[in-house]
Amino acid sequence: MASCTGTSRRTRTRERLREMAWVAAASRTRRSILAAIGAFHLATAAADPATIAGRWITFDSDSGQGRAVVEIVREGPRATGRITELFLRQGEDPAPNCERCTGADQGRPIVGLTILVLEAEADGRGFHGTVLDPEEGRTYRCKVTLTPDGRELRLRGFAGFEIFGRTETWLRAD
């Protein structure tokens, strides 16, 4: 009788151990799958070309030459852009300041200057806000849209009515 009870106890113990091993293996598999999904989500979010965030090359409206690199950072519905690099012409000051700017920006270095403050449109297809032209020292209202492939940013700056504004196209530098 003792041997029957011992055998059934051993059998139950083995079954419990097998069940615990299966649960542990399933838990590890579940964690691995969740980690892979999370990594995929982060990779696709970072590689999403249709986001305004990133580095953008601006161009001189007269010569068509690259003028600056603006880095746009998005925080929720808001986006801000600051100049991170200048493409200087021969004889230009290597560290120019915004002499024509007014208020807190007057005399500040142009590299590092926040020139773009945007809010997302309600429809999610564009942004509106203000853009500072550091060469003129003037701030304009603006509307910003991205091309479907996310490689071009179209910024329309205007004072007063949008119809009297000017559109610039910035290219993604990333």
What pLDDT score was predicted for residue 174?
82
Domain co-membership, 13 together with 80: no
Q: Which amino acid is at 11?
A: T
Domain co-membership, 144 together with 68: yes
Confidence band, pLDDT 50/70/90 cuts, at residue 15: confident
Domain co-membership, 78 together with 164: yes
What pLDDT score was predicted for residue 153?
97
Domain co-membership, 35 together with 74: no
Domain co-membership, 101 together with 71: yes
Residue-wise pLDDT tens digits, 134-166: 999 999 999 999 999 999 999 999 999 999 999
CA 138 – CA 100 distance, rounded (Å): 8
Domain co-membership, 34 together with 78: no
Domain co-membership, 59 together with 11: no
Give the structural domain span for 88.
Answer: 54-172
